[in-house]
A and B are shown apart, each in its own frame.
Chain A
Amino acid sequence: MRRTPRDSAESSRRMTRRGLLLGGAQIAFAGVLGLRMRHMQVDQAAEFRLMAEENRINIHLIPPSRGRIFDREGRVIAENEQTYRITMRREDAGDVEEVIGRLSALVDLRPEDVARALEEMRTSPPFLQVTVADRVSWDAISRVAVNAPALPGVYPEVGLSRFYPQHETFAHVVGYVGPVSERDLARYEDPEPVLRIPRFQIGKVGIEAKFEEQLRGSAGAKRVEVNAVGRVMRELDRREGEAGADLQLTVDSELQDYIKARLGEESASAVVIDLEHGDVLAIASSPSYDPNKFVRGISIGDYGVLRENNHRPLASKTVQDAYPPGSTFKIVTALAALEAGLIGPDETVYCPGHMEIGSRRFHCWKRSGHGHVNLEQSLRDSCDVYYYDLALKVGIDRIAEMGRKLGLGAAPDVPMSAVTAGLMPDRDWKRRERGAEWRIGDTVNASIGQGYVLTSPLQQAIMVARVATGRAVEPRLVRSVGGQLTPSRGGAPLDIDPAHLRMIRKAMFVVSNSRRGTAYRARIIAEDMRLAGKTGTSQVLNRVVRNQDVPWEERDHALFVNFAPYEAPRIAVSIVVEHGGGGSSTAAPIARDITLQALYKGTPPLEAYPAGDRERIQAQQERLERERAERAAEAGRRA
């Protein structure tokens, strides 16, 4: 078909027009692309550069080494030991099964660990290191290192783990650490990233938990370049972390160790406080457990044994258990009456062996009665009727006020777990908590430390420390944090007439040193070391049968508190032997041994003991020394 020239010219014109239009549109669009490019690469460049850096750079934390814990003499209580583990990287190993087979010929591998490691390697990227065996011995690690050429992709790794070289001795004080759990993380609003490090250990109970922040230190970090699937390409830079602060405690491990041995198999607790600064020299609860087991992850079987034991090894009895203080509380009642000006030291009360109050008859422990007793005699003989009489005169509110002045009814400020406040009851308390009116019988019971009154062994020690010094002594458990000394807790003078305190101290001296005193048999005869104490027997069940005739769980608790030396008090001691029977027969001898051990800073000379006791004491000292040597040998084997 031939076109006419006109047709052709028209076609040509239209195409030129539209072609130019199209070309213009295309170039305009290219301009838009150029502008967009400029906007992204020039205006937004900084923003995108930042996003590219965020993509590329990962921050890996370097865990800090945890602060160590020492006793007052610088002996190690908690430290970090190197642990070895065997890891594998799939991409380097090639045939994983084959390599694991060769590895298991060298090292004992647990089948469940191997199964978990294989599963982890299967599901994670090939370059990730997976732990095959944890806490392997140095021998095993060296065998792996020697055979490295035959074990492609197997890498020994070194880590730090908590170790308590004194094992059971400080379990209740220092506590233990463990891996961070979901519950731990939930406690913090914004958990520190370091807590997310796998197998990072934090304090779970005791001082380890209370001083977690100081002990932990701060994590270091290294910046690494990663690719899109997270493989580390290279390390860019690193900043080392800061190790946690070391703690020095006020406790003396030798004394604590002696107490542990002396308490033996009893379910008992003992506290020794230095009176000058309130330093807790020993705070022991028996029986105990090995915190290292918890660090490694305790087996259900071992944990079950600890749980089932009726002597409650897991309980920190010195601070978390509260007992009726029994006759030791008579110190409080007597001081309250003296302060109220209701009695003089020589006023006497007649004890016929019982007292009628309302329609009830309250017995003295001595059914035949003590006759006429004054203050000193009442404490020496531990006469109950004397205190019933005081109770009626003084009233519970003044007794409770004195109890609080001496540190009862409030949780002592010590960095341990589950510290109880005990109970110092009064009218308000009974109305509030029990919804009933306070009755006179309640006061009578409270006056001899029965009924509602509850105190912990530590509170008992504080009470005696305050009576001995006249100052508001508070327990100090941590001597320094990171080299920074903590302030003395010797306390300010109490608002109690020193003359009254002297009377009580004198009476306590008589308890231990007069032939008729309840603790005379557990006296110290070294002139400058003599102790002043008070026995207590707190009833577990109300009954008249003798202790020897009932099962262990129903026997009375034996208590003893004392300070020493009498002339210039240096320490206060508190002992509770659960279901131990009588305070004078069971608790007082233990308290004497501990007191001497603390005052002499080691095994005391036999001359400090009464002549009749020396043979027995020598045998006991030899036995304890032997046991201690055996334990040390065993610890050496375990390490």
Chain B
Amino acid sequence: MSYLEYTVKTVPSGWRKVLYLNWPLIILLTAVACVGFLMLYSVAGGSLQPWAEPQMERFGLGLAAMFITAMVPIWLWRNLSALIYLAALALLVAVELFGAVGMGAQRWIDIGFMRLQPSEVMKIALVMALAAYYDWLPMKRVSRPIWVIAPLILIVTPTFLVLTQPDLGTAILLMTAGGVMMFLAGVHWAYFAVVVAAAGGAVYTVFLSRGTPWQLLKDYQFRRIDTFLDPSTDPLGAGYHITQAKIAMGSGGWTGRGFMQGTQSRLNFLPEKHTDFIFNTLAEEFGFVGGFSLLVLYVLILMFCIVAALQNRDRYSSLLILGVGLTFFLFFAVNMSMVMGLAPVVGVPLPMVSYGGSAMLVLMIAFGLVQSAHIHRPR
């Protein structure tokens, strides 16, 4: 069902829209953000500076952005999807050409009041573009090869650009999100079987390329994979981070060592304790109870998204909500796997908790889109 098929008169208008917002979702997001503030306060040694306060300001900004996004009718977003995607792509090219280099990678451009990471924007833009594409495409053509290749190009182009920054984490996120969007849209099973087989082959080739002139990954990326597979090979180098992160996590026990009592984070054994590894600080100070509670909050947000998507009879809206939920899921799943030693360290932040502006703002806008789809759903 497309929005063209129903009458918009049943949709709330004006300020009445506020009443139709998905309030439980907003409360959940705020709760997660508060966990973030608490942990940023703790890792700064009991101080709002330098992380907790800026993070609160950004959350406020994000909340505002979410409301504005939510007020705009979802059909308008649908019509803008292609344009947003192209703009994000242009930004990616721009960052490639003029971007500043941070942490050995070109990731952001300075746009005055904040540093913009086009790769973050692209995560949502890709979901929007794919949702719009499949909304437009009649169901019977979905599995035809020619109509499968078009979305693949939409996915691969930004993935490639992100990979050259180089930012393996975001590239994997884009690739996975795009693939799952195609799956949700109903592309035939066989394609996915082929892709899985091909991916296996590709991984094999990547490892085969190691040490040859046509090496496909950077040396540091290979080393990260090595240390992930066996952290003890490099206990003082790259493996040090993983080992220290696991010690922080494990030493928390059932109930943790107490707020601001985590020795691993307080004495700086824990790397990147305010960004990628903030979950370990939480797990160290509040233990299994604290860590698992945050996981439950995340899963609740996810379930609200899935329910909202399945209730929505508009195809674009459903796909978009599932896509946003998926992106959110990938963020926390990859981050948590990484900090628990289940995945290599690829530099994915913990959504709504890790310190960082772009990621939070983009996620809040994405949830704004979810809200918009929810408010403007066909009734």
Q: Is A27 an interface residue (CB 8 A)?
A: yes
B333–A29 contact, CB under 8 A? yes
B292–A34 contact, CB under 8 A? yes
Q: Given A18-B184, A29-B333, A30-B298, check contact A3 B267 (CB 8 Å).
A: no
Please tell me the number of chain B residues within 8 Å of chain A, measured between CB atoms. 54
Q: Is A138 an interface residue (CB 8 A)?
A: no
Q: Given A23-B306, A52-B264, A56-B263, check contact A11 B250 (CB 8 Å).
A: no
A56 to B251, CA, bound (A): 12
| Among A20, A44, A48: residue with most chain B CB under 10 A | A48
Interface string of A1-35 (1 = CB under 8 A from B): 11100011011101110111011001101100110
Chain B residues, Cβ within 8 Å of A22:
180, 183-184, 306, 322, 326
Q: Is the interface of B mostly helix, strand, loop or mixed?
A: helix
Q: Is A45 an interface residue (CB 8 A)?
A: yes
A1–B250 contact, CB under 8 A? no
Interface residues of B in 282-315 (CB under 8 A from A): 283, 287-288, 291-292, 295, 298-299, 302-303, 306, 309-310, 313, 315
Q: Is B46 an interface residue (CB 8 A)?
A: no
Q: Is A37 an interface residue (CB 8 A)?
A: yes
A18 to B292, CA, bound (A): 27
A22 to B185, CA, bound (A): 12
B340–A40 contact, CB under 8 A? yes
Interface string of B18-57 (1 = CB under 8 A from A): 0000000000000000000000000000000000000000
B291–A37 contact, CB under 8 A? yes
Q: Among B288, B299, B313, B326, point to the contact of A37 (Cβ < 8 A).
A: B288
Q: Which segment of B61-69, B133-141, B195-203 sits at the interface?
A: B133-141
Q: Among A19, A30, A48, A56, point to the contact of B322 (Cβ < 8 A).
A: A19
Q: Is A372 an interface residue (CB 8 A)?
A: no
B288–A227 contact, CB under 8 A? no
A30–B267 contact, CB under 8 A? no
Q: Which segment of B96-104, B158-166, B241-249 sits at the interface?
A: B241-249
Q: Is A99 an interface residue (CB 8 A)?
A: no
Chain A residues, Cβ within 8 Å of B329:
26, 29
B269–A228 contact, CB under 8 A? yes
Closest to A227 in B: B267
Closest to B291 in A: A37
A20 to B184, CA, bound (A): 10
B319–A42 contact, CB under 8 A? no
A52–B247 contact, CB under 8 A? yes
Closest to B270 in A: A228
Nearest chain A CB to B301 CB, angstrom units: 11
A56 to B268, CA, bound (A): 10
A375 to B366, CA, bound (A): 122
Chain B residues, Cβ within 8 Å of A37:
249, 283, 288, 291-292, 295, 340
A208 to B336, CA, bound (A): 61
B268–A33 contact, CB under 8 A? no
A18 to B333, CA, bound (A): 20
Chain A residues, Cβ within 8 Å of B156:
none
Q: Is B186 an interface residue (CB 8 A)?
A: yes
Interface string of B137-168 (1 = CB under 8 A from A): 01110000000000000000000000000000
Q: Is B2 an interface residue (CB 8 A)?
A: yes
Nearest chain A CB to B296 CB, angstrom units: 8
Closest to A41 in B: B288
Q: Is B252 an interface residue (CB 8 A)?
A: yes
Q: Given A2-B4, A22-B322, check contact A52 B340 (CB 8 Å).
A: no
Closest to B250 in A: A48
A11–B253 contact, CB under 8 A? no
Chain B residues, Cβ within 8 Å of A42:
253-254, 288
Q: Is B342 an interface residue (CB 8 A)?
A: yes
Chain A residues, Cβ within 8 Å of B247:
48, 51-52, 55
B246–A55 contact, CB under 8 A? no
Q: Is B13 an interface residue (CB 8 A)?
A: no
Q: Given A15-B184, A30-B298, check contact A41 B263 (CB 8 Å).
A: no
Q: Among A11, A41, A51, point to the contact of B291 (Cβ < 8 A).
A: A41
A52–B251 contact, CB under 8 A? yes
Q: Is A225 an interface residue (CB 8 A)?
A: yes
Q: Show 27 residue pairs from A and B whose CB-CB distance is below 8 angstroms, ordered by the A residue.
A: A1-B136, A1-B138, A2-B5, A3-B1, A8-B315, A11-B139, A12-B313, A15-B184, A19-B318, A19-B322, A22-B183, A22-B306, A26-B326, A29-B329, A30-B295, A37-B283, A37-B292, A40-B249, A41-B250, A41-B287, A42-B254, A44-B250, A49-B251, A55-B247, A55-B269, A227-B267, A229-B268
A-side residues, CB < 8 A to B, are 1-3, 7-8, 10-12, 14-16, 18-20, 22-23, 26-27, 29-30, 33-34, 36-38, 40-42, 44-45, 47-49, 51-53, 55-56, 225-229, 233
The 7 closest A-B pairs by CB, nearest first: A48-B250, A227-B267, A52-B251, A228-B268, A45-B253, A41-B288, A23-B306
Extra 9 A-B pairs, beta carbons < 8 Å, given A1-B138, A55-B264? A3-B1, A7-B138, A8-B1, A15-B318, A18-B183, A27-B299, A48-B250, A52-B251, A55-B247
